Amino acid sequence: MTKTNIIPVIMSGGAGTRLWPASRKAAPKQLLPLVSTQTMIQETAERLDGEWDSFKFGAPVIVCNKAHAAPISKQISSLGLKLGTVITEPVPRNTAPCAAIAALVVQAADPDALMLLAPADHHISDKPAFSRVVANGLQAAEAGYLVTFGITANAPETGYGYIQKGKSLDDHAYRVAAFKEKPCKEKAQDYIASGQYFWNAGIFMCKPSVLLSEMKKHCPDILAACEIAYHASAMQDGYLPLDEKTFAACPADSIDYAVMERTEKAAVIEANMGWSDIGSWSALWQLTKNEDSNALRGDVHVIDSKNSLVHTDGPFVAAIGIENIAVVVHEGTVLVANMDNVQDVKKIVDVLKARGDVSKL
């Protein structure tokens, strides 16, 4: 049996501002060890390595900020994993241009391969389940669909977009009936009750040729700009630094808005694999809390405290009688927040930007 070759594309352009002050411009959350001793991008690279009955992963393509290329290469190489092309972006342009450039690279390297686009900063606790989900999506992807992974929605979360499934395509895949924006609580409860919706994880699998064809149809301006930037760029020792002038001219948009919400070739497969995007300190607390419902990291001691997160990168932190509080000490900066308000951390980042206080960003 011939195994399908899948080229992983690890998207590592995010700033991770919702995990400030630990996640900074110089070292965003994907470069940090948040859940285990490995960094998020190391976890992702290991998950996207190996072979199974029906498929095998090739060396991953990385798309990242040019300032992060060296540390990312070092982190992944330290695991003994082979690296594919490292595409460096001179300016951020969101995930649609990222996907287009990666598709051009993958198509040139192996036109018969599938590509699997995955964010660098997601946590998936059940690696065997992830591999089964990939296998379940092969038939639809090889049939020319843009397959997205729909996370089993087990709670009315308002922080995620939702995917409504349509008619069945095969034993595992469904047509996408609709993409839904992040809902209010009541709408999210309706989605869960219907049993027809998944959370949108932002993980995609497809033929690069199909993605490029759909981009030509639905966002030709983005594709044209990316093709110009791709052809204006030259490989340098395994790196593809994108030409700044031409790539900066590319419109910024997400692959969801630019392609997935417009195409008639969107398919979804259910993915029950212990997924989290670790989009806030409360999400990290949920993943790492102990028997006292506290998530502690570093030189920390707590007394009579519960439902709290306390992280420090150096100074000893003691907490007494706290509940539902996040305390994060990182490089001389301290965050103290109610766990119910940690999504507002981005507001602090905006304040620091307005003040021009770049040393804390």
> What span, in angstroms and rounded, lies between the C-alpha atoms of 98 and 75?
21
> What span, in angstroms and rounded, lies between the C-alpha atoms of 50 and 214?
29
Q: pLDDT value at position 336? A: 98
Tens of pLDDT, residue by residue over 96-127, are: 999 999 999 999 999 999 999 999 999 999 99
CA angle 57, 61, 62 (to 5 degrees): 130
Domains of the chain: 4-276 (3.90.550.10), 281-360 (no CATH)
* pLDDT beyond 90 at 15: no
Q: pLDDT value at position 87? A: 98
Confidence of residue 14 (pLDDT cuts 50, 70, 90): confident
Question: Mean pLDDT, to the nearest integer, of 36-55?
Answer: 97
> What span, in angstroms and rounded, lies between the C-alpha atoms of 169 and 213?
21
Question: Mean pLDDT, to the nearest integer, of 56-64?
Answer: 98
Q: pLDDT value at position 194? A: 96
Confidence of residue 262 (pLDDT cuts 50, 70, 90): very high
* pLDDT beyond 90 at 139: yes
In one letter, which amino acid is 20? W
* pLDDT beyond 90 at 1: no
Spatial neighbors of 29 by CB under 8 A, at least 6 apart, are 14, 16, 19, 22, 23, 40, 121, 278
* pLDDT beyond 90 at 16: no
Tens of pLDDT, residue by residue over 307-354, are: 999 999 999 999 999 999 999 999 999 999 999 999 999 999 999 999
Backbone angles phi, psi at 200, to 5 degrees: -90, 115
Q: pLDDT value at position 144? A: 98
Round to the nearest angstrom and report the end-to-end CA distance of the chain: 51
Q: pLDDT value at position 126? A: 97
> What span, in angstroms and rounded, lies between the C-alpha atoms of 327 and 338?
9
Confidence of residue 204 (pLDDT cuts 50, 70, 90): very high
